[in-house]
A and B are shown apart, each in its own frame.
Chain A
Amino acid sequence: MVRAAIRGIWEHKLRTLLLVLSIVAGVSFVAGSLIFTDTIGGSFDALFEGAFEGIDIRINPDVDQGFTSLQPAFDADVLTIVESTPGIIDTWPGVGGLVNLSVGGEVQSIQGPPNFALSWEGDPTLTLVEGRGAQGPTEVAIDTTARERYDLAIGDTIGLAATGAISDYTVTGVLGGFGAGPALFTFDLATATSVLGLDGLYTTIDVAVEDPTLLQEVLDDLTSRLPDGVVAVDAQAAAEEQAAQLKQALGFIQTVLLVFAGISVVVGVFVVYNAFRTVLGQRTRELALFRVLGATKKQLVTSVIVEALVIGLISGVAGLIGGILLATAARAAFSLFGGSGLADGGLVLAPGTFVTAFGVGMAVTLVSALLPAARASQVSPMAALATIDKPPRRLTKQLVVGSVLGVPGVVLVALTGLDRVNLLTGGIGALAILIATYVFGAIIGRPFVRTIARFLGNTPVRKIATDNAARSPRRTGATAGALMFGVAFVVAVSVIVVITQKTATAVLEDAVSAELTIQSAGADPTAGVSPEIASIVGELDFVAATQSSRFAQGSINEESTFFGSFEPETVEQTYFFDEVQGNWSDLVGETVAVQRAQADELGLAPGDPVTVDLGTGPEQWTVAVVWDYSSSVDDTQGFYLPTSTLADRFPQGNVVSIGVKLTGGTDPDQAKATIAELIQTDYPFANVTTQDELLADIQGQLLGLLAFVFVLLAMSIFIALLGIVLILLLSVFERTRELGLLRAIGSTRVQIRAMIRWEAVFVSILGALMGVVVGTFIGWGLSGSIFGAGFSFVIPWTWIGLGLIASIVAGVLAAILPARRAANLNILEAIAYE
């Protein structure tokens, strides 16, 4: 029996190849995700191996925001406290913050790790590899990452600016940096302090202790002496912590990749299951003959399982190779987007990856083969003698299973849409709906195909194609169902993205009154622009008002959140509000302006106390204003602080954007040109945009996101198409005599091809339409949880239309191979075929 199974694999090479392909795609995706993240993870370990060597303790703000502008600074007096603590032999106070870079007059804008300025005066955390450290106000020493990424050398002049105007600096040396991640630009402490605008403040103090065995005592001592919001941590532990944090972020990437890989694997399971079911159905007589000859049921199952295992094994090997290729491509893409230096070594092939690749390959085929095998073993020896096809089975089971899963699924997703339950519950509901739809595919397939055919009009070719598609409802349903998965995900994501886009543009269109926005020219908007620009632009006679906003991360009443900021003096000139409770003039110092929705949620009104933590410990603040934009705007960011307060707390941070309100009758384009001209020399990192340009920007970014998701989902759609090819091939094989007869009585090859093509198109339209309906509903549901109840729902018609056209094209493509097979059948052999 085993030999018969293996011969079966060999004799049906094309079928085996397609089966393997539909498994390999998913396995490659899984293996690739693992290899890619392991490889990057490995270089993170190397990254922090030598970090913080030579120091024992690092003094940090309580919340360490790393290489961002959100790192709170602390008073320089802390240094005195540290130095007066017994057991300490050396201290290196330092400052750091984001910096903008210009090389050869070109603003350097890259996606990915930031450019970071910090002080370095021989601190042991970094080592000099070339030249010397920077000294004085016109020198900079860079790290190896910066040298490679921007192709710099000692003696080069570069432009740098943080919160002030741009200045030129000469590169004097190269430091062994982290080798990856942020590019470092180091100055002496005084210069760094002035570049970053951190007079009288530090962001870190590194400490060496006299006796490392007493480290814990010194730490405890320091902790009792340091003010609130500043902590002393074990430097080695901190290094490990930082590596762990990066790895955690990496873990998130891995999870996202594995989710998409998982979708591909699941689609693969459906395709392979369907194929096994069909093949075994076709082999009923052969299996019955084995039974007549005395094979036991167990032997029949074994033969199918062996076939599945061999295919699984081949898929595991091929999937591993595919995974390595995918990981290589992903790494290349990663380097392109600024991750250079990371993962430059060899790919990391962990034993776990091997186990997973083979495990997934085998599991997919086994799971897919088990049920059909069990059913096939039930075949009665009598079936060997039967010549008439079994009457089609009733679809009662499908109806029951579909309803049991579908109804609660719809309820859960509907509740999510009304924002009554959380996103996870909605996700579970969505999954239930997807499986229910897959099951229902068998029931709706036949009437659906007939309806479409009626709509198109019945030519004989189309009539036969329709009948064929409707002939085996479970097969057609399952084939279309596999496609439905990918399409549903794509549509759900586009619904969410389109709503996001609408939300974002509604803020600009209905809430922002300022005609121009000044923000970072770089790819990272948090790099911001110099706060000095606002006062320069404010002087212009055609500028009525400017509105600088900053942002911060922290928590309000212990719920973590992002904070925006308003300048109360000009907020009414630069925004449209429907409702303002309280006075904008009260928004000073430690006060918060809360949007209506969030105020209702937390039960806040002007004058109420709130607990705000900006990373330096909880503080008691007051609600100054409760406000709301016009009703068309769903802004999820609900808490705004006074801009001036954030400027005090984060002096090294730039403003994220400056809104510019023009005086009546001023042409925005002309104003934009004048302002750009005015600030270009000193602040090349600032970019002036009109509202229209900003809208286009937002749409462009969201399109990018959408494209990324599509790429990740393309794999599952590809597998589903392989499924269509596979099932059509099996059907052609099954209908050999019919096709031979059709050819004998005068159907042309063109007609036969068209017949198969129509069948494929019917199946792909069925899959796509199910996906569109389900995906739109799921997208609506999940949006409820993401945007809050009562969000304005948009159906992405353009995307849906494109998707349907694409699925028709895909059906036509999937039909090429089976259609060619069908058309080129030898008529005489086909007629005589048993």
Chain B
Amino acid sequence: MTTPAARAVGATKIYGEGDTAVTALDNVTVEFAPGQFTAIMGPSGSGKSTLMHCLAALDDLTEGSVFLGDTQLTGMGDRELTELRRDKIGFIFQSFNLIPTLTARENITLPAAIAGRKTDTAWFDQVVEILGIGDRLSHRPSEMSGGQQQRVAAARALASRPEIIFGDEPSGNLDSKSGAELLGFMRQAVDVFGQTIIMVTHDATSASYADRIVFLADGHIVDEMFDPTAEKVLDRIKTLET
């Protein structure tokens, strides 16, 4: 069996102390296969964002450990984690993905630039072409629509050929057409380039683009589903909530 792209082992995250302590993740163990598009779903407060943040080296666990490929993140210093995010991870957030003073091109090449690496021009062109933002490269974020901004963010995430891309409700702020386009591109990245993607969402339609869905509730993994459709997901959510 191949090494999972990411995994959490006995992951526990507790916010606060004493009476006010809140357990966001409770002894979660989960693996994410490479080249797969996984959606993490769950109601608010289920711990889905916390799980993603910990997997993405943005937050640390109270107990347990997290691996990216063979690399154990737990115990790493800020500098190592930062470089890991820079070199191995791509991000697409719900909003405010781009630095407002930089053009689309500068935003896309930013991770490579801050790492002091040369951009792979051929790959850059390919990504830009797939995402259809070739005519927007010299624009600043304020001159682009929300859908275009998210596509630029996706391009940035792809441009550095990361081992894994994390999406935090990437289509949450978009109208349904733009959202569908964006998710379609993400699907394509997995199918064409074998990109690993983990995405947090609470929207059934968005989740249906994934290969696999992991359901979280109250800090536990309560279910999972392969090859989902929107209807199946909605049904499952209903049963989970009752």
Residues of A within 8 A of B (CB): 388-389, 460-461, 463-464, 467-468, 471, 737-738, 741-749, 751, 827-828, 831
Q: Are B82 and A743 in contact (CB under 8 A)?
A: yes
Chain B residues with CB under 8 A of A743: 82
Q: Are B85 and A745 in contact (CB under 8 A)?
A: yes
Known: A460-B110, A827-B58, A828-B58. A748 touches B79 (CB 8 A): yes
Chain A residues with CB under 8 A of B96: 737-738, 741, 831
| B53: Cβ under 8 A from any A Cβ | yes
Q: Are B82 and A471 in contact (CB under 8 A)?
A: no
Q: Are A749 and B78 in contact (CB under 8 A)?
A: yes
| B115: Cβ under 8 A from any A Cβ | yes
Which of A388, A461, A746 lies in contact with B85, CB distance below 8 A?
A746
Query: 19 A-B pairs, CB-CB below 8 angstroms?
Result: A463-B106, A464-B99, A464-B101, A467-B101, A471-B101, A738-B96, A738-B99, A741-B96, A741-B98, A741-B99, A742-B114, A744-B58, A745-B86, A746-B114, A747-B86, A748-B114, A749-B78, A751-B114, A828-B53
Smallest CB separation, A821 vs chain B (Å):
16
Q: Are A745 and B83 in contact (CB under 8 A)?
A: no
A688-B89 Cα distance, complex, nearest whole Å: 79
Chain B residues with CB under 8 A of A471: 101
* Interface 0/1 of B27-60, CB less than 8 Å to A: 0000000000000000000000000010000110
Tell me whether chain A's interface is mostly helix, strand or loop, or mixed: helix
Residue of A746, A748, A749 ringed by the most chain B CB atoms within 10 A:
A746
Q: Are A746 and B142 in contact (CB under 8 A)?
A: no
A298-B164 Cα distance, complex, nearest whole Å: 54
| Nearest A-chain residue to B87, judged by Cβ | A746
A461-B115 Cα distance, complex, nearest whole Å: 10
Q: What interface size band does chain B fall in?
A: 20 to 34
Known contacts A461-B114, A745-B111; 20 additional CB pairs below 8 A are: A460-B114, A463-B106, A464-B99, A471-B101, A737-B96, A741-B98, A741-B99, A742-B99, A742-B114, A743-B82, A744-B93, A746-B83, A746-B86, A746-B111, A746-B115, A747-B86, A828-B53, A828-B58, A831-B93, A831-B96
| B91: Cβ under 8 A from any A Cβ | yes
Q: Are B82 and A749 in contact (CB under 8 A)?
A: yes
What total count of A-B pairs have CB within 8 Å? Answer: 65
A744-B96 Cα distance, complex, nearest whole Å: 12
Q: Are B78 and A745 in contact (CB under 8 A)?
A: no
Smallest CB separation, A549 vs chain B (Å):
68
Chain A residues with CB under 8 A of B98: 741
Smallest CB separation, B152 vs chain A (Å):
13
| B156: Cβ under 8 A from any A Cβ | yes
Which of B83, B101, B106, B115 lies in contact with A468, CB distance below 8 A?
B101
A389-B141 Cα distance, complex, nearest whole Å: 11
Chain A residues with CB under 8 A of B100: 389, 738
Q: Are B58 and A745 in contact (CB under 8 A)?
A: no
Smallest CB separation, B30 vs chain A (Å):
20
| B22: Cβ under 8 A from any A Cβ | no
Smallest CB separation, B87 vs chain A (Å):
7
Chain A residues with CB under 8 A of B99: 464, 738, 741-742
Smallest CB separation, A135 vs chain B (Å):
87
| B97: Cβ under 8 A from any A Cβ | yes
Chain A residues with CB under 8 A of B106: 463
Chain B residues with CB under 8 A of A746: 82-83, 85-87, 89, 111, 114-115
Chain A residues with CB under 8 A of B222: none
Smallest CB separation, A229 vs chain B (Å):
78
Residue of A467, A743, A751, A831 ringed by the most chain B CB atoms within 10 A:
A831
| Nearest A-chain residue to B157, judged by Cβ | A745
Q: Are A741 and B97 in contact (CB under 8 A)?
A: yes
A78-B101 Cα distance, complex, nearest whole Å: 88
Q: Are B59 and A828 in contact (CB under 8 A)?
A: yes
| B113: Cβ under 8 A from any A Cβ | yes
| Nearest B-chain residue to A747, judged by Cβ | B114
Which of B79, B142, B156 lies in contact with A388, CB distance below 8 A?
B142
Chain B residues with CB under 8 A of A831: 93, 96
| B102: Cβ under 8 A from any A Cβ | yes
A604-B97 Cα distance, complex, nearest whole Å: 81
Residue of B89, B93, B99 ringed by the most chain A CB atoms within 10 A:
B99
Residues 171-202 of B contacting A (Cβ, < 8 Å): none
Smallest CB separation, B221 vs chain A (Å):
22
A751-B79 Cα distance, complex, nearest whole Å: 11
Chain B residues with CB under 8 A of A828: 53, 58-59
Smallest CB separation, B94 vs chain A (Å):
9
A827-B53 Cα distance, complex, nearest whole Å: 10
Chain A residues with CB under 8 A of B79: 748-749
A761-B80 Cα distance, complex, nearest whole Å: 28
Which of A460, A738, A741, A749 lies in contact with B113, CB distance below 8 A?
A460
A464-B142 Cα distance, complex, nearest whole Å: 16
Smallest CB separation, A552 vs chain B (Å):
69
| Nearest B-chain residue to A745, judged by Cβ | B111
Chain A residues with CB under 8 A of B78: 749
| Nearest B-chain residue to A738, judged by Cβ | B99
Smallest CB separation, A170 vs chain B (Å):
79
| Nearest B-chain residue to A743, judged by Cβ | B82
A181-B100 Cα distance, complex, nearest whole Å: 66
Q: Are A744 and B85 in contact (CB under 8 A)?
A: yes
| Nearest A-chain residue to B49, judged by Cβ | A828
Chain B residues with CB under 8 A of A742: 99, 114
Chain B residues with CB under 8 A of A461: 114
Residues 194-239 of B contacting A (Cβ, < 8 Å): none
A742-B100 Cα distance, complex, nearest whole Å: 12
A742-B96 Cα distance, complex, nearest whole Å: 11
A460-B111 Cα distance, complex, nearest whole Å: 10
A389-B91 Cα distance, complex, nearest whole Å: 24
Smallest CB separation, A507 vs chain B (Å):
57
A656-B113 Cα distance, complex, nearest whole Å: 71
Smallest CB separation, A682 vs chain B (Å):
77
Chain A residues with CB under 8 A of B87: 746
A385-B141 Cα distance, complex, nearest whole Å: 19
Q: Are A745 and B142 in contact (CB under 8 A)?
A: no
A389-B100 Cα distance, complex, nearest whole Å: 10
| Nearest B-chain residue to A391, judged by Cβ | B142
Smallest CB separation, B58 vs chain A (Å):
5
Q: Which 6 A-B pairs have the closest CB atoms?
A: A746-B86, A467-B101, A460-B113, A746-B85, A748-B82, A737-B96
Smallest CB separation, B85 vs chain A (Å):
5
Smallest CB separation, B73 vs chain A (Å):
14
A461-B106 Cα distance, complex, nearest whole Å: 12
Chain A residues with CB under 8 A of B59: 828
| Nearest A-chain residue to B109, judged by Cβ | A460
A463-B101 Cα distance, complex, nearest whole Å: 10
A748-B83 Cα distance, complex, nearest whole Å: 7
A460-B99 Cα distance, complex, nearest whole Å: 12
